[in-house]
Amino acid sequence: MMVNITKDNFSIRQICESGQCFRMQRLEGKGEKYVLTALGRYLEIEQRENQLFFDCTLEEFEGIWRKYFDLEEDYGKIINMIDPKDDYLVKAASYGSGIRILRQDLWEMIISFIVSQQNNIVRIKKCIENLCEKYGEEKRLKDGRKYYLFPTPEALAKASIEELYACNLGYRSKYIHKTSGSVAFGEVDLEAIKQMDYKAAMNELCKLTGVGEKVANCICLFALHKTEAFPVDTHIQKVLKEQYAGGFPFERYAGYAGTLQQYIFYFDLKKGNQVC
DNA sequence: CATCAGGCGAGAC
DNA sequence: GTCTCGCCTGAT
């Protein structure tokens, strides 16, 4: 089954490269074909211009992926709300206009962004695949190919720190171990966090070992869809200093600063690569 | 060789 | 409360 829709302000390549989802990758060959493992499922997507081809049933598309890819949101509207006098932000949003803030799984984002700290995207992806292959449930497609689900809190809680080290997680191993225990043993309730507002969710997430303000903001943005969450990493910090010495206009962009943060992050990330 | 990559925890003060 | 320091590992 193939579901075909037309969508503006949607670039599967930009979503993949923007570093919010670590289990999506481009398939070899010509064209824009991507494969994603998320929410216990496997999905292939192809994009031609503004047409998207989801390799799934209509039921799965409507029930799962429409929400996951935030297809109900009008990103053109958000981009148009940017201050036209803010040359930098206008340029950044134009450059990454196909980015969307995905609605990803909370547990997966907690572990993924703990892994992300002091780390680069290539290695983050490798670490996460190591975890999935070692501790995630193995599934098979109809043609026999294997894929792995993201490990449950219980599965990761059973792993020793030494075993986690073997997944190339480095010093983050003990963070993963502790946090998995906290969730598996019910000390932190993920279902409760899903019902909280931004501030309460931040407070609760920061109780987890290895989760500080930056990581908690990433979790809020990419799992809880708190679009006011504004993660400040090394890229954003640099841009705030160079472009917004007088302060970033958070008041103007109340409620969607996090979406704009993604445009800025992506713009700076890609621009940095071009220089080399 | 040093520095850096989507930072954080622990300890000092 | 704020500041500093050490930390796995691979790329440059």
**Which residues does strand C reach (CB under 7 angstroms)?**
A 118-120, 122-123, 165, 168-172, 276
- The mean per-residue pLDDT over the stretch A131-146 comes to 97
- Output the pLDDT for position A274: 65
Amino acid A161: pLDDT:
97
Regarding whether A63 and A167 lie in a shared domain, the answer is no
A123 closest-nt by C1' vs CA: C10
* pLDDT attached to residue A273: 65
Q: Which nucleotide is nearest to A206 (CA to C1')?
A: B8
Q: Summarize pLDDT for A213-266 with one digit per residue, the tens.
A: 999 999 999 999 999 999 999 999 999 999 999 999 999 999 999 999 999 999
Nearest nt to the CA of A165 via C1' is C8
Which protein residues have Cβ within 7 A of any strand B atom?
A 18-20, 116-121, 171, 175, 206, 208-218, 221, 231, 233-235, 261-262, 265, 269
Q: Which residue is nearest to nucleotide B4 (CA to C1')?
A: A118
CA-based R_g, chain A, Å: 19
Tens of pLDDT along A5-48?
A: 999 999 999 999 999 999 999 999 989 999 999 999 999 999 99
Element housing A261 (H / E): helix A257-275
H helix runs in A41-139, sequence order: 58-60, 66-68, 75-80, 87-95, 106-116, 121-135
pLDDT at A271: 87
Q: CB–CB of A224/A102 below 8 Å?
A: no
For chain A, what is the mean pLDDT?
Answer: 97
- Domain annotation covers residue A122: yes
**Does the pLDDT value for residue A276 go beyond 50?**
no
Indicate the pLDDT class of residue A163, thresholds 50, 70 and 90: very high
Instruction: With respect to residue A260, please indicate whether it lies within any of the assigned structural domains.
Output: no
Output the CA torsion A88→A92→A95→A96 (10° steps): -170
Give residue A23's domain range: 3-72
Residue A109, token pair as written in the block? 């984002």
Structural domain includes residue A175: yes
Domain final residue, candidates A72, A89, A114: A72
- Residue A275: is its pLDDT beyond 50? no
